[in-house]
Amino acid sequence: MERARVVRSFPTKHGYTLSSYPGCNQLHRGRFQGRSVFVVGRNTPEEKLFQRRELNEASVYAKEVKRQVESIATAELCDAAILDVYGRGEV
């Protein structure tokens, strides 16, 4: 299966915004710091976050919704988002 192209993004001084976590401005500084997540369709209605080990799932979803896959460090995203993503199972 052909994977979607992963884009490496760079944050502003306030990290990255996520439409699925409006108003969340506390960046992750917890136990998942140093990891990254895949974000498909950031700041669009199709936005969805995936654990690092879920690249195949992220690629399939990205192709379905015709959006890019971004690789973003956990320290640059909202704490609640990271806890939700990695709360689905330890990696």
43, part of any domain: yes
Going by C-alpha positions, the residue among 78, 15, 91 that lies closest to residue 52 is 91
74, part of any domain: yes
Domain extent, residue 54, equals 6-86
91, part of any domain: no
42, part of any domain: yes
Check residue 87 and give its pLDDT: 84
71, part of any domain: yes
1, part of any domain: no
Residue 78 vs residue 14, higher pLDDT: 78
- pTM summary value: 0.82
Give the per-residue SS3 of the chain. Answer: CCCCCEEECCCECCECCCCCCCCCCCECCCCCCCCEEEEECCCCCCCEEEEHHHHHHHHHHHHHHCCCEEEEEHHHCEHHHHHHHHCCCCC
Structurally, the chain folds into a number of domains equal to 1
Lowest mean pLDDT among 3-17, 46-60, 74-88: 3-17
